[in-house]
Amino acid sequence: MVHVDALPQGESATIFQAHETEAAGSTGVGKSMALAALGYDVTLHCALGADDHAKQVEAACWDHGISLMVDRQDAPTPHHLNIMDNKGGRYSIFLSSGAETPRLDDGRLGVALTDAGTIFLSLAASSKLALPLLTGTKADIARPARL
């Protein structure tokens, strides 16, 4: 994430006062970390590549006590750059979107979903593919309006 005082507005700009932070993150990772910090037992399913970004996601989750269920992909791990101003405005630039149609282990994921008490679906392509696996689950389900 690159932090700036104000985002450029419709024209080219050079910004001299900025600082950066780097962390593993996405909607799923961020929500998982918040829930783990609140004391919930969290398992995160994600489709990751076999690259350094995947290693960062895995290490960050393990460091926060989050169990992982990974479906490994041939495509790079999705990652993005956020440019954020001091009022909370941001630009998100995806540097890799990951696999367009990730391969999921439906049997393993289906069992985990059936046993889950609460399920959160993000905007990731793997969430859309997991929707048919929700049939019969008794869990509370939270999902973005666009899925």
Beta strand pairing status for 140-142 and 118-120? parallel
pLDDT of residue 117: 87
Where are the strands (E) in 36-128, listed by range?
43-48, 67-72, 79-85, 90-96, 118-120
Q: What is the pLDDT of residues 6-38, one digit of tens each?
A: 998 888 989 888 999 888 877 789 899 999 999
Per-residue pLDDT tens digits for 76-115:
999 999 999 999 999 999 999 899 999 999 999 999 998 8
Q: Can you list the domains of the chain with their CATH numbers?
A: 2-142 (3.40.1190.20)
Q: Dihedrals φ, ψ of 69, to 5°?
A: -125, 105
If we measure between CA atoms, which residue out of 39, 41, 78 comes closest to residue 57?
A: 78
Biggest distance spanned by C-alpha atoms of the chain = 54
Tokens of 145: 């309006």
**Whole-number Å distance between alpha carbons of 13 and 19:** 16
Instruction: Give the whole-angstrom CA distance, residue 28 versus residue 89.
Output: 20
